[in-house]
A and B are shown apart, each in its own frame.
Chain A
């Protein structure tokens, strides 16, 4: 099993036709059943490509995608307020590149990656917005991304800039609420109800918020699970096992229906918040299992598990 890149490199030189044949014989035709398998695989590939090709070029109606692109990306978000989403996206590109620049210096790969991700995202969004030149937008977004990274590097090179790193979490914290403000309005901007936050915008938002929220919750549960205190251990383990035994769709259903019933009638919880709560409850349990598995590497048969991370326990054991 050699890596195929090196093989290809050595194989397709002009004088290497013989080597290519040897490679084919060794890797595709070495035994009778491998000949058979190769033929079957070729059949599968040809059939799939043929079917896919016919569908893509003759049957598929791609204009549906083009026409509905804005709907898929931002849903029913009011068109006259779309500039706020653009601003939010600029911020979403600028803050990570800035942080990266501050932490990493001019890490080439890092800045290129962030810029590319930003460009891809923006490219998708641009098509959905009428009246602006897509190229201008792409240029602007890339410019902002690279510029923010540059700024980060400049600051990092100053003597006073070194301590800036410790303030980055605050920047992200503020950015998050600024983003929410830009999307949702209030405080001088027209309010946009969460029922209009749809499409890819909603996917990104819900995923981001529940990933961030489930993290501390999950780590706490993992710590609780290996606590020497029986009550805390039982509660954490019970929660984790309960959630892991239920389907996600059931938990979302529960969050939608039960959460309003468990709170006093005067408090109304937004539908989006309920969905995020359900997702957070769900992924926290899975995260807890992962964290627990990582910091509890007790080898089998070694008796007592070692203290996690080599620290003494936070509390004397009961």
Chain B
């Protein structure tokens, strides 16, 4: 028998490298082709490439601004206003969606039949209707068809809903907020330590009331802050409407803002509810029984045995729901809320700078997504089981 001749393509590493090389070359060719076309097309339309247009005057008005802005400001400023508006909706949406979602998720496991059915209807209804449609519903059917300010729907006093929007009580922070925060920070830190110590004692079977002592600790530090500053850290403004015409006090959420906040929050909460329910159900029943047979009371069982295990299942899908919420906030353009996407779209329409605007938009959303997943992954790593 003749030994096989060794050819280069008989080497075990030849084909893998050849294929990768081929893929790289093909991708390079594709990129070159697209880039070439891009340059040609831009030249034909007599558009250069560069971000200098950001410095020129925007010339359009923005309905809702958190920082001072006039149409004479630059595009960069307009985009910043849009970004702040986007972040505002994302952060508030995340907080409220988590709260409502957790509540509904637990309601789906309630021992009360009626509550369980209601929660199921909520989840199924909101998960199966497109978000865009829900936004339209909140905007046109709820907030825009609300009665005018004279005939506003009053919940408590002037805490009301009208065509102007939702009028809420407001907290305006004062300068003394800083000492308050410092005192409360110390208080919370000590309370946590107290809570842990007492909880361990409680689990070991000695009488102790960790919750009570922790709350007392925080209240004590609150009193110290009160003694130091002699005032509350905020001005509480109860909503007021003068002469049925003008809003004089309180926080007025515009119909656009309310629509996108309500729509995003309730939509995402339905998904979060299912994640929470699945997480709690994923803990085997034996864990409840084992904890009970060790003599742990039900609340401690939930807190110390069930939740830590459920969180491991909850956090990864929760992260992707947070990402979805952040990305879905771009649908705000449908109800006319000037978020980042909406402002970018106007900028594109006025300047025709497609490539630059898209690059900016992509980079911003990617950075936001990355930050959310980074934070959630760090948290996830903290709560996972350490394996050997």
The interface of chain A, by Cβ under 8 A from chain B, is 1, 4, 27-28, 30, 34, 37-38, 41-42, 44-45, 228-232, 235, 242, 244-250, 253-254, 257-258, 260-265, 300-301, 315-318
Q: Which residues of A contact B341 (CB under 8 A)?
A: 247, 249-250
Q: How long is the Cα–Cα vector from A168 to B235 in the complex, in angstroms? A: 72
Question: Which residue in A34, A244, A264, A318 is a CB contact (below 8 Å) of B40?
Answer: A264
Q: How long is the Cα–Cα vector from A4 to B341 in the complex, in angstroms? A: 47
Contact assessment for A27 and B111 in the assembled complex, using a CB-CB cutoff below 8 Å: yes
Question: How big is the B interface, by class?
Answer: 35 or more
Q: Which residues of A contact B38 (CB under 8 A)?
A: 261-262
Contact assessment for A245 and B365 in the assembled complex, using a CB-CB cutoff below 8 Å: yes
Q: Does B330 sit within 8 A of A, measured CB to CB?
A: yes
Contact assessment for B111 and A30 in the assembled complex, using a CB-CB cutoff below 8 Å: yes
Q: Does B3 sit within 8 A of A, measured CB to CB?
A: no
Contact assessment for A228 and B358 in the assembled complex, using a CB-CB cutoff below 8 Å: no
Contact assessment for B23 and A246 in the assembled complex, using a CB-CB cutoff below 8 Å: no
Nearest Cβ on chain B to A245's Cβ, whole angstroms: 4
Question: Which residue in B331, B354, B369 is a CB contact (below 8 Å) of A245?
Answer: B369
Contact assessment for B16 and A318 in the assembled complex, using a CB-CB cutoff below 8 Å: yes
Question: Which residue in B27, B42, B111, B112 is a CB contact (below 8 Å) of A261?
Answer: B42
- Of listed A34, A231, A232, residue having the most chain B CB within 10 A: A231
Contact assessment for A41 and B387 in the assembled complex, using a CB-CB cutoff below 8 Å: no
- 19 A-B residue pairings within 8 Å (CB atoms): A4-B113, A30-B111, A37-B112, A228-B16, A231-B24, A244-B369, A246-B365, A247-B330, A249-B331, A250-B330, A253-B358, A257-B354, A257-B358, A261-B37, A261-B42, A265-B44, A315-B16, A315-B19, A316-B16
Chain B interface, DSSP helix/strand/loop, else mixed: helix
The interface of chain B, by Cβ under 8 A from chain A, is 12-13, 15-17, 19-20, 23-24, 27, 34, 37-38, 40-42, 44, 110-115, 118, 323, 327-331, 333, 341, 345, 348, 354-355, 358, 361-362, 365-366, 369-370, 387-388
Contact assessment for A253 and B345 in the assembled complex, using a CB-CB cutoff below 8 Å: yes
Look across to chain B and name the residue whose beta carbon is closest to the beta carbon of A34.
Answer: B112
Look across to chain B and name the residue whose beta carbon is closest to the beta carbon of A260.
Answer: B41
Look across to chain B and name the residue whose beta carbon is closest to the beta carbon of A230.
Answer: B20
Q: How long is the Cα–Cα vector from A285 to B351 in the complex, in angstroms? A: 31
Nearest Cβ on chain B to A20's Cβ, whole angstroms: 13
Nearest Cβ on chain A to B367's Cβ, whole angstroms: 9
Q: How long is the Cα–Cα vector from A261 to B329 in the complex, in angstroms? A: 27
Q: Which residues of A contact B19 (CB under 8 A)?
A: 229, 232, 315
Q: Which residues of B contact A244 (CB under 8 A)?
A: 323, 369
Look across to chain A and name the residue whose beta carbon is closest to the beta carbon of B40.
Answer: A265
- Sample of 15 more A-B contacts, CB < 8 Å, known A4-B113, A258-B358, A315-B15: A37-B110, A37-B112, A41-B112, A231-B24, A248-B327, A250-B341, A250-B358, A261-B42, A265-B40, A265-B44, A301-B388, A315-B19, A316-B15, A316-B16, A318-B17
Q: Which residues of A contact B34 (CB under 8 A)?
A: 262-263
Q: How long is the Cα–Cα vector from A28 to B116 in the complex, in angstroms? A: 10
Contact assessment for A231 and B361 in the assembled complex, using a CB-CB cutoff below 8 Å: no
Q: Which residues of A contact B370 (CB under 8 A)?
A: 245
Contact assessment for A246 and B112 in the assembled complex, using a CB-CB cutoff below 8 Å: no
Nearest Cβ on chain A to B93's Cβ, whole angstroms: 14
Contact assessment for A254 and B114 in the assembled complex, using a CB-CB cutoff below 8 Å: no
Look across to chain B and name the residue whose beta carbon is closest to the beta carbon of A24.
Answer: B113
Contact assessment for A41 and B354 in the assembled complex, using a CB-CB cutoff below 8 Å: no
Contact assessment for A318 and B37 in the assembled complex, using a CB-CB cutoff below 8 Å: no
Nearest Cβ on chain B to A73's Cβ, whole angstroms: 17
Q: How long is the Cα–Cα vector from A1 to B110 in the complex, in angstroms? A: 9
Q: Which residues of B contact A316 (CB under 8 A)?
A: 12-13, 15-16
